[in-house]
Amino acid sequence: MDDKKIYIGNLNYDTTKEDLQKVIEEAGAAPKDVTVISDKYTGRSKGFGFAEFESEEDTQKAIDALDGKELAGRNLKVNKARPKKPRNDNFGSGRRF
């Protein structure tokens, strides 16, 4: 698991990558990458994102500053990201009998 990546949940659906990056930087942390997850079919935000940092110090600083902070009328839920679980949905894997 990457200890320098955080999960940011309960985002307002209108929050952009740029909005999220600005809030993180205002908290005194320097993210090397920020992502807001969107639905691949509609393009609409799913209400969560991730940020990755160069140092564990910046990672913890972002968690401490942002967890519970209000952004666009929503209280953020921020913690260290968990590893992505492998998917086994079998979409497009061929015919089924």
Q: In sequence order, which residues have a C-beta less than 8 Å from that of residue 31 and are 6 or more positions away? A: 21, 24, 25, 51, 52, 53, 58, 62
* CATH, residue 13: 3.30.70.330
CA distances for 71 relative to 1, 15, 20, 68, 79, angstroms: 27, 9, 9, 9, 16
Q: State the amino acid at position 87 in one-letter form.
A: R
Residue 22 located in a structural domain: yes
pLDDT for res 86: 79
Residue 90 located in a structural domain: no
8 A C-beta contact, residue 50 and residue 11? no
pLDDT for res 85: 80
Q: Could you report the average pLDDT of every consecutive run of 10 residues in the chain (97 residues)?
A: 88 95 94 96 95 95 96 96 77 56
Residue 87 located in a structural domain: no
Domain that holds residue 48: 5-80
pLDDT for res 26: 94
